[in-house]
Amino acid sequence: MKANRTLEKCILLFLASVWALVCLFPIWVLFSGTFSLDSSNLTRTFFPNSLSNGILKCREALVTIDIATATIHTFLYTGITVVGILLISSLAAYEFTFYEFPMKKVLFGLLMVSMMLPQVLYIIPLYRMVFSMKLADTFAGISMPMMVSALSVFIMMQFLEDLPASFIESARIDGAGHFQIYRRIVLPLMRNGILTTVVLMFMKIWGQYLWPALVTGQKIKPISVTVANLLNPNFWVDPRVKIAAMLIAMIPPLLIYLIFQRYVIEGITMSGVKG
């Protein structure tokens, strides 16, 4: 019995190690390519060999490709969108979990179905709506359509299902209002759910390409569009500068995940424990 468990653990450890290597390999290629001297054999440079040259290329990427402006713009609309998602999703999850209202099951079913719809089905109506409202090339135009997230509502509902309904009933008996219960009871107990949603939505929105590319022009420069433009053959720049720009674009979501991963894992674990 112990031998079987040991073998199972070894197999799982091996598979996890292989998967970790697969995920980390592209990051390592970017890092080693940035901090290398030879620009003709970037894919063959497995180990970094020039720290000073890498720093120089990162500075050049910030100025030449204007990756700094793109990073600031992306931080702004990503932050605005995440705040909107948290507000809308937490309120929706609170309503769906603790309140009864007409057509509740139908609306929840439609919400879940919307998660399976590809973005291309509704992106043209959104595009026309944003342009008709004169919100193109604005932070509001990028952020508002992405603030409604069925996945975020579903995630937060998983955390609220563990909250005893007696807490809500006791607060109602004591005279607490709808938003007072939401602000003083629901939000504090949803900390892990909120942090999980922040990390997942930040990483998702940071890497969005199609929607920001459609609604932005000269004023706002999304980092995903800026990096994608590096693949244009007419845009020539030192390959190491391109790789440095890609490395810089990858750092913010990676840091967000590393900082909050403990809360994400803790939250997912707690949401899976019933009773």
pLDDT, tens digit, for every residue of 224-258? 888 888 877 777 777 778 888 888 888 888 888 88
Structurally, at CATH architecture level, domain 72-222+253-271 sits in: Orthogonal Bundle (1.10)
Average pLDDT, the chain: 83
> Which residues does 9 contact at the CB level (< 8 Å), separation at least 6?
none
Residue 86: pLDDT band (50, 70, 90) is: very high
Least confident of 41-45, 67-71, 101-105, 162-166: 41-45
The upper half-sphere exposure of residue 198, i.e. CA atoms within 13 Å in the direction of its Cβ, equals: 20
> pLDDT > 70: what percent of the chain?
91
Distance of CA 229 to the CA centre of its chain: 22
Nearest to 186 by CA among 102, 111, 96: 96
Q: Is the pLDDT of residue 156 over 90?
A: no
How many other CB atoms sit within 10 Å of the CB of residue 70? 23
pLDDT at 41: 57
In order of 56, 92, 111, 149, 195, the CA distances from 154 in angstroms are: 45, 9, 9, 9, 14
Residue 66: pLDDT band (50, 70, 90) is: confident
Least confident of 39-53, 89-103, 164-178, 184-198: 39-53
**CA gap 150, 159 in Å, rounded:** 15
**CA gap 97, 162 in Å, rounded:** 10
pLDDT at 2: 67
Pick 274 or 224 by higher pLDDT: 224
Q: Mean of the pLDDT values across residues 95-112? A: 87
Tens of pLDDT, residues 12-65:
888 989 998 888 888 888 788 777 766 555 556 667 777 777 788 888 888 888
